Amino acid sequence: MKLNGEQYHDRVTAWLTGFAIFWSLLGMASGVYVAAELVWPTIDFGHEWLSYGRLRNLHTNTVIFGFGISALMATAFYSVQRTCHVPLFAPRLAWFCALGWQAGMLGGGISLLAGWNGGKEYAELEWPFDIAIAVIWISFAIVFFGTIAKRRIQPIYVSNWFYGALIIVVAMLHIVNSLAIPVTWSKSYSLFAGTQDAVVQWWYGHNAVGFLLTGGFLGMLYYFLPKHADRPIWSYRLSIIAFWAFTYSYIWAGPHHLHYNAVPEWVQSLGMVMSLVLLAPSWATLVNGVMTVAGAWEKLRTDPALKFIVLSLAFYGLATFEGPMMAIKSVNVVSHFTDWTIGHVHSGALGWNALITFGTFYFLLPRLVGAELYSTRLANWHFWLALAGVMLYVLAMWGAGVSQGLLWLSLDEIGELSYSFKDIMASMKPYYALRMVAGFTFFAGAVLMAFNLWMTAKGRRIVCIAPPPPVREGA
Amino acid sequence: MIWFLFLGDMLVMAFMAALAVWALWGSSDKAVDQAAGIPLNDERRDG
């Protein structure tokens, strides 16, 4: 029986999940290739499109925007309908949003390989793509907030606050940071210059990390963790406090990317202090997540999806502790411009973002097609490969980064550098080789997941699911 | 600048303190439990 013939629109979620898996494989493969280029620099074979400078941008754009955003759109569309007890608002616009995003990522990826580049990290795509992204993002906002506006239950569940913040803040960051004067179809110049450009860029860059890679995925956590564990979030009040503390603090933290640069001292200090303040909301969420699972530990033995989510929580705690520590200026003097930063980013991106998304996909796809997961054994293999990959990666980059930082700071008795840049880089080869192996291990696990989920969904149709009946007042 | 930063910090703290007070006392246990339970009862599958 269906409620007024209404059904949730889940086909768009299923397609977005498939696209996200495709981008994750492409992004990780290009990441492993650029890691190999740092070990064997000649394997670009003289082709510009295989060069580190172009493939590295393809890697970051496909994993963050292709994989990450597709996964966030999929889970936002899935959860907002259910937490509002209504089907999606404007489902055709949701399809435009989903398919438009894929077209933009495909065109954007090709443009990066062709050498179009705006020169801003994590905002490399040129102005035609910036405009397309803004249009698609606004359509995402209309579908999401339209669904919330027509909800049948009064409370707006906490996951929707995080997804909502993702949509609003990323729109603001993207539009302001992309303001530019186009000179040709493939080239534009930023409206900002010099130090102002750097401040705007890292206001964008760090908050893209904050509201996309942290806030957006916290939306995923707050919906899918209670679903997995089959129990409500441990403290709903704490989740609301964590949301507002997170939103209020994160927006100021960007200047820690500009320590010891030509920005005013007080701006750097403000960035450092607000980064330290961020520890409170981050760990409030960590505590809330761990306590939610606390009564369901036995499920970890049988549910591979929950394993991924619990492990992602551990890496979330690690990365959100390490980040504020690295923002302290006396620590940053060692870590800045070293591979420690790359290790930190990947403990968050692989350990937190990718693992929670994998766990969510293992939960989501079988439910969407009404089937059991094709192979729990393969999912367990994936879990161990992912854990080995991320641990090896982080340890290699910590070793490389701390070595680089300390060697660069080392002076001889007459105050000159003890080691040349060339010597230090030559000593990095074992760490870079280990990073390549780690990346390949993580990628191999993702290939297993793609095969497992493909076999789960193969030949099946999306199950029809309806909202629950309305609750009558006083009932 | 020190006073500017101090004032800003105090405003942040005041906001967070007000929020914590509101979250702890401004909402009933029943309403909070109802909101927390939303993901556990949000779909009906075809028979």
- Structure token pair of residue A305: 């999806």
Residue A411: strand pairing partners: A417
Q: B44 to chain A: which residues are within 8 Å by CB?
A: 1-3, 465-469
**pLDDT computed for residue B22 by the predictor:** 78
**What Å distances lie between residue A238 and A84, A242, A314, A347, B10, CA to CA?**
21, 6, 19, 25, 21
> What is the residue-wise DSSP string for A35-51?
HHHHHSGGGGTT-GGGS
The answer to whether the CB atoms of B35 and A244 lie below 8 A apart is no
Contact B45 A465 (CB under 8 A): yes
Give the ipTM of the model, two decimals please.
Answer: 0.84
Residue A16 corresponds to which tokens in the numbers above?
Answer: 């977005």
Indicate whether A86 belongs to any domain.
yes
Q: Can you tell me whether residue A5 is helix, strand or coil?
A: coil
**Is residue A248 in a domain?**
no
Beta-carbon separation of A155 and B31 below 8 A: yes
CB A104 within 8 A of CB A95: no
Contacts of B12 in chain A (CB under 8 A): 248-249, 277
Contact between A246 and A278 (Cβ < 8 Å): yes
- Of the candidates B43, B31, B35, which has an alpha carbon nearest to the alpha carbon of residue A158? B35
CA A347 to chain centre: 11
Which pLDDT does position A427 carry in this prediction?
94
Are the Cβ atoms of B23 and A237 closer than 8 angstroms? yes
Considering the domain boundaries, does residue A38 fall inside one? yes
Q: What angle do CA A72, B31, A316 make, to 5 degrees?
A: 35
**Domain range holding A8?**
1-191
For chain A, say whether B20 makes contact (Cβ under 8 Å): yes
Residue A418 has which token pair?
Answer: 């003890």
Can you tell me whether residue A398 is helix, strand or coil? helix
C-alpha dihedral, A360 to A361 to A364 to A367, nearest 10°: -130
Distances (CA, A) of A203 to A64, A98, A121: 17, 27, 12
- A1 at B interface, C-beta within 8 A: yes
Q: Which helix (H) or strand (E) holds A30?
A: helix A11-39
* Interchain contact, A248 vs B34, CB within 8 Å: no
What's the CA gap between A228 and A309, in Å, rounded? Answer: 9
- How many other CB atoms sit within 10 Å of the CB of residue A331? 17
Count CB atoms within 10 A of the CB of residue A171.
16
Q: Is A273 on the interface with B (CB under 8 A)?
A: yes
Residues of chain A neighbouring B35 (CB-CB closer than 8 A): 155, 157-158, 236
Q: Which residues pair with A465 in a beta bridge?
A: B45
Is A152 contained in some domain?
yes
Provide the pLDDT for residue A252.
Answer: 82
Tell me the DSSP string of A289-304.
HHHHHGGGGGGGGT-H
Q: Where are the alpha helices (DSSP H) in A150-278?
A: 158-177, 194-208, 217-229, 236-250, 265-277
Q: Phi/psi at A320 (nearest 5 deg)?
A: -80, -10
According to DSSP, the β-strands at A465-466 and A187-190 are unpaired
Give the Cα separation of A450 and B13 in Å (integer).
46
3-class SS at A120?
coil
Polymer length of chain A: 475
- State the pLDDT at residue B2: 64
pTM of the model: 0.94
How many whole angstroms separate alpha carbon A142 and alpha carbon A156?
16
Residue A184, classed as helix, strand or coil, is strand
> In the structure, what pLDDT confidence band is assigned to residue B47 with cuts at 50, 70 and 90?
very low
Give chain B positions within 8 Å (CB) of A370: 45
CB of A443 closer than 8 Å to CB of A35: no
Is residue A9 in some structural domain? yes
Per-residue pLDDT of chain A (475 residues; tens, 9 = 90+): 444 578 999 999 999 999 999 999 999 999 999 999 999 999 999 999 999 999 999 999 999 999 999 999 999 999 999 999 999 999 999 999 999 999 999 999 999 999 999 999 999 999 999 999 999 999 999 999 999 999 999 999 999 999 999 999 999 999 999 999 999 999 999 999 999 999 999 999 998 889 999 999 999 999 999 998 889 999 999 999 899 888 888 888 889 999 998 998 888 998 999 899 899 999 999 999 999 998 788 888 889 999 999 999 999 999 999 999 999 999 999 999 999 999 999 999 999 999 999 999 999 999 999 999 999 999 999 999 999 999 999 999 999 999 999 999 999 999 999 999 999 999 999 999 999 999 999 999 999 999 999 999 999 999 999 999 876 655 4
Question: What gap in Å lies between CA A458 and CA A279, rounded to an integer?
Answer: 43
- Report DSSP state, residue A189: E
How far, in Å, are A49, A106, B6 from residue A102 at the CA level?
21, 6, 46
d(CA A69, CA A276): 27
At what angle are helices A429-457 and A355-369 packed, to 10 degrees? 10
Asked if residue A211 is part of any domain, the answer here is no
In a domain, A142, yes or no: yes
Would residue A453 count as lying in a domain?
no
pLDDT of B3 > 80? The answer is: no
The CATH number covering residue A145 comes to 1.20.210.10
- Among A236, A275, A463, most B C-beta atoms within 10 A, so best to mutate, is A236
Cβ atoms of residues B16 and A245 within 8 Å: yes
The pLDDT value given to residue A473: 53
Number of domains in chain A: 1
How close does chain B come to A240, measured CA to CA in Å? Answer: 7
